[in-house]
Amino acid sequence: MVIFALAVSAAFALLSKNKMSERVRYAVWAFLAFLVVAIGIGWLMYPFTR
């Protein structure tokens, strides 16, 4: 999941932003958002595992 988030956020940052500072900010934001959302949804699904 971390590898996925890292690769996709880096590619999205380069695709969507033009300035280096914007790219870095967007990549960090997207990377953290991927992790937080994935872990959050994982915990939300936890009660339904059994």
45 forms part of the interface with another protein (CB under 8 A): no
Q: Which of 4, 30, 2, 3 is nearest to 16 (CA)?
A: 30
Which token pair is 28?
Answer: 């960090």
Give the interface segment with another protein, choosing from 1-9, 29-37, 38-46 (CB under 8 A).
1-9
Give the interface segment with another protein, choosing from 10-18, 28-36, 38-46 (CB under 8 A).
10-18
20 forms part of the interface with another protein (CB under 8 A): yes
CA–CA distance, 43 with 29 (Å, rounded to integer): 21
- Given a contact cutoff of 8 angstroms between Cβ atoms, the answer to whether 30 and 8 are in contact is yes
- Which residues contact another protein (rule: CB under 8 A)? 3-4, 6-8, 10-11, 14-15, 18-20
